[in-house]
A and B are shown apart, each in its own frame.
Chain A
């Protein structure tokens, strides 16, 4: 029972490098999300995808791009990494699907990214 799988779990980048965080869910969920969590703080929404084929900005989208590749997969790309993007990144999914989405978020284990 994999749930939400995100890779890589750890990554160190130099300023200006690019990378993609991958996320896949096997629960047939419609909605997927990317959050970042800075030390001692809550989760801030970067981007979300309410359904396959749609993506929307969250609270902190600058410096990131996303792709909803299919219903299962939702990737997050940093085109030119900056030290301010050092954080733990969580992918999550929920049932979604039109009617009010009352389902809880299912989270991946997180990806710890350090930008030097």
Chain B
């Protein structure tokens, strides 16, 4: 089994500041991948960033970085220099590579609001 927990239903951040969205996970697979997706109010799902469980370095993609702490089973998303267009719902997800291969599990999401 695998589970994703996002404990922040809503977050506010001032434009141009950085924000961290929390994600903790649990899985029985020794190898797995962690993902973050963005869902704007228009409803589409947009992939942001990926971290493999055996990757030595934290993943970065432009203004997005993933703070991966394997021992704590956390995979927090950091957005630097927030923009108004970052206002959206953000989902953490994982996919196991063994028992849970093929099953991408999502958290309940965090709604981020960027204030001007």
Contacts and interface: CB of A to CB of B under 8 A. Distances in A.
Interface of A: 31, 33, 35, 40-45, 48, 50, 56, 58-59, 88, 90, 92, 94, 96, 100-102, 104-107, 109-110
Given A42-B91, A42-B109, A101-B97, A107 B44 contact: yes
Interface stretch (B11-19, B67-75, B78-86, B98-106): B98-106
A104 B91 contact: no
Given A88-B43, A104-B35, A109-B44, A45 B105 contact: yes
Nearest to B50: A104
A101 to B, nearest CB: 7
Contacts of B97: 100-101
Report, as a range, how many residues of chain B touch the other chain: 20 to 34
A101 B101 contact: yes
Contacts of B35: 104-105
29 contacts: A33-B104, A40-B109, A41-B108, A42-B4, A42-B6, A42-B106, A42-B107, A42-B108, A43-B45, A43-B93, A45-B103, A48-B103, A48-B104, A50-B101, A56-B102, A58-B103, A92-B45, A100-B31, A100-B97, A102-B33, A104-B47, A104-B50, A105-B35, A105-B45, A105-B93, A106-B47, A107-B45, A109-B43, A109-B44
B40 interface: no
A107 B4 CA distance: 20
A35 B91 CA distance: 14
Contacts of A56: 102
Contacts of A105: 35, 37, 45, 47, 93, 104
Nearest to A100: B97
Given A102-B33, A109-B44, A44 B50 contact: no
A72 B16 CA distance: 42
B109 A41 contact: yes
B103 A44 contact: no
A15 B70 CA distance: 46
A43 B97 CA distance: 20
